[in-house]
């Protein structure tokens, strides 16, 4: 059930690059804040904030209000380290001495896990001030690396501030209200990587609650059998004719993509059901031109593009927000019966 998400305080969103992590994090943030909760969406050490484009507000180290009850921030290593030192060392003069000391900084930069512990500890601090903290984590492998650090740090350092913080972080990561969410796509390779990540999380960070998988950019069967027939016959005709039919070809190509996506979606859902023993929630292919926008975009000039499509990323987020709302409402109504 997707509505488990409503009870999660710390949501850790990951998945391969470009699968829709930032779109999903933004949409979820909008849904939860509309439901009356204070919500923070966190990016980690992001030089190029995608959240800024979506919310049209600067994303800073400190939380910025982007919509009613909804905040965004970008936790950068340098600033999180200053915070950390201020808290642990407590004397501003000493903090500045450490920060201005090149050797100390190189040492800190090179200390395995220091970066992750400092950033994670900043994230869990925010759980006091917000009802939900949604972390738009880096891509899968890197995210797994970050989540493994607290346990390793506890084993490496037997005492001291890093040890204590790592224990605190581990505590939060192990609670029921922490939920990892993996975004996937209906592509064989991505599906396999998703299942692999679910299993790796189970074995390498066993204290973490089980991850929820969401399939993005999917398509439910919409072609009838006669339509499929028609598509195939158009295709044959285009191959045989010598006329210049590039426009028709583009349409047939679009039909072909659609059909392939339907098959891939069915395969992905089946695979998840078998391997994860779970029904998976999915988002349709969204945005202008139903997500073929990026392919179509390449062939348009900029003026026309703006005129026809506006901002695709924000449209996707709006559509995802509505889809999530509908799903949560549906599940809530069902559970009342």
Q: Given CA atoms 224, 226, 229, 235 in this order, what sign does their dihedral have?
A: negative
For ligand ADP, which is the closer residue by CB, 17 or 226?
A: 17
Round to whole Å and give the CA distance between 136 and 146. Answer: 13
Which one of 46-54, 99-107, 215-223, 274-282 is the stretch in contact with Mg ion (CB under 5 A)? 46-54
Distance CA 203, CA 102 (A): 38
If one asks whether residue 22 binds Mg ion (CB under 5 A), the answer comes out as yes
- Under 8 Å between Cβ of 282 and 218: yes
Q: Which residue is at the shortest CB distance from Mg ion?
A: 22
**Angle (CA) 137 202 122, round 5°:** 35
CB of 325 to ligand ADP, least distance (A): 15
**Binding positions for ligand ADP, rule: CB under 6 A:** 15, 17-23, 50, 216-217, 283, 285-287, 291, 312-313, 316
Q: Of the ranges 42-50, 57-65, 125-133, 240-248, which one interacts with Mg ion (CB under 5 A)?
A: 42-50
22/76 with CB nearer ligand ADP: 22
> Which residue, 24 or 84, has its beta carbon nearer to ligand ADP?
24
Is 307 buried (19+), middle (13-18) or exposed (0-12) by CB count in 10 A?
Answer: exposed
Q: Give me 44's structure tokens.
A: 């980690």
Q: Which one of ligand ADP, Mg ion, none interacts with residue 312, CB within 5 to 8 A by kind?
A: ligand ADP
Which segment (15-23, 79-87, 161-169, 248-256) binds Mg ion by CB under 5 A?
15-23
> CB under 8 Å to 120, separation ≥6 — which residues?
146, 149, 150, 169
Q: How far apart are CB 19 and ligand ADP at their closest, in Å?
A: 5
Q: Which is nearer to ligand ADP, 137 or 170 (CB)?
A: 137
CB of 12 to ligand ADP, least distance (A): 14
Instruction: Give the nearer residue to ligand ADP in terms of CB position, either 113 or 291.
Output: 291
Binds 212, which of ligand ADP, Mg ion, none (CB < 5 to 8 A, cut-off by type)? none
Residues 6+ apart with CB under 8 A from 255: 231, 234
Which residues pair with residue 134 across a beta bridge?
A: 11, 41
Binds 216: which of ligand ADP, Mg ion, none (CB < 5-8 Å by kind): ligand ADP
CB of 143 to ligand ADP, least distance (A): 11
Q: Read off φ and ψ for residue 91, nearest 5 degrees.
A: -100, 120
For the CB of residue 237, give the shortest distance to ligand ADP in the complex, in Å: 30
Q: Classify residue 206 by its DSSP letter.
A: T
* Separation in Å, CA 256 to CA 145, 188, 233, 242, 259: 39, 18, 12, 21, 5
CB of 146 to ligand ADP, least distance (A): 16
**Which residue number, 95 or 214, has a Cβ lying nearer to ligand ADP?**
214
User: Contact, 14 vs 21, CB < 8 A?
Assistant: yes
Binding site for Mg ion (CB under 5 A): 21-22, 50
């Amino acid at each position: 059930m997707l509505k488990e998400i409503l009870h999660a305080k710390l949501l850790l969103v990951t998945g391969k690059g470009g699968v829709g992590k930032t779109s999903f994090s933004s949409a979820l943030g909008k849904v939860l804040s509309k439901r009356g909760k204070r919500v923070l969406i966190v990016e980690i050490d992001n030089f190029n904030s995608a959240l800024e484009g979506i919310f049209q507000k600067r994303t800073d180290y400190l939380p910025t209000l982007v919509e009613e009850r909804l905040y965004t921030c970008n936790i950068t290593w340098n600033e999180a380290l200053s915070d950390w030192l201020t808290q642990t060392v407590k004397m501003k003069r000493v903090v500045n001495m450490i920060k201005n000391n090149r050797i100390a900084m190189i040492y800190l930069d090179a200390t395995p896990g220091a970066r992750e512990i400092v950033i994670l500890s900043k994230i869990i601090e925010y759980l006091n001030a917000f009802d939900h903290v949604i972390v738009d984590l880096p891509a899968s492998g890197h995210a797994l690396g970050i989540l493994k650090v607290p346990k390793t740090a506890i084993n490496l350092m037997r005492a001291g501030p890093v040890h204590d913080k790592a224990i605190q972080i581990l505590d939060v990561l192990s609670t029921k209200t922490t939920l990892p969410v993996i975004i996937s796509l209906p592509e064989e390779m991505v599906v396999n990587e998703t299942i692999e990540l679910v299993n790796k999380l189970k074995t390498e960070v066993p204290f973490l609650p089980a991850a929820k998988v969401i399939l993005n950019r999917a398509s439910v069967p919409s072609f009838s059998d006669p339509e499929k027939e028609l598509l195939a016959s158009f295709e044959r005709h285009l191959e045989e004719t010598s006329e210049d039919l590039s426009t028709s070809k583009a349409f047939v190509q679009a039909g072909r993509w659609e059909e392939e996506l339907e098959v891939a979606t069915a395969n992905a859902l089946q695979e998840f059901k078998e391997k994860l023993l779970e029904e998976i929630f999915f988002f349709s292919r969204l945005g202008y031109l139903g997500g073929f926008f990026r392919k179509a975009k390449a062939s348009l000039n900029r003026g026309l593009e703006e005129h026809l499509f506006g901002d695709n990323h924000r449209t996707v987020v709006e559509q995802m927000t509505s889809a999530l709302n509908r799903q949560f409402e549906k599940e809530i109504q069902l559970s009342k019966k």
